[in-house]
Amino acid sequence: KRKQTRRERFLAEMDQVVPWTGLLGLIEPFYPKDG
C-alpha cells in the first residue's frame, strides 16, 4: 500500500466538511477521472 500524497490527504480532510456530491456535479465535466 503506497503512502498517501499531500493532495490525497487534503481531499480526505475536505471530504469531511464539504458536500462533495453537489460540488462534484459542478466540476466533474472539467476534471475527468483518471485511474
Q: How many domains does the chain have?
A: 1
Q: Does any domain span residue 7?
A: yes
How many C-beta atoms surround the C-beta of residue 9 within 10 A? 11
Q: Does any domain span residue 3?
A: yes
Residue 11 and residue 18: Cα distance in Å, rounded? Answer: 10
**pLDDT for residue 35:** 56
- Phi–psi pair at 31, nearest 5 degrees: -125, 85
Q: Does any domain span residue 20?
A: yes
**pLDDT for residue 27:** 77
pLDDT-flagged residues of the chain (< 50): none
Q: Does any domain span residue 35?
A: no
**pLDDT for residue 31:** 73
Which cell numbers hold the place of 7? 493532495
Domain that holds residue 5: 1-30
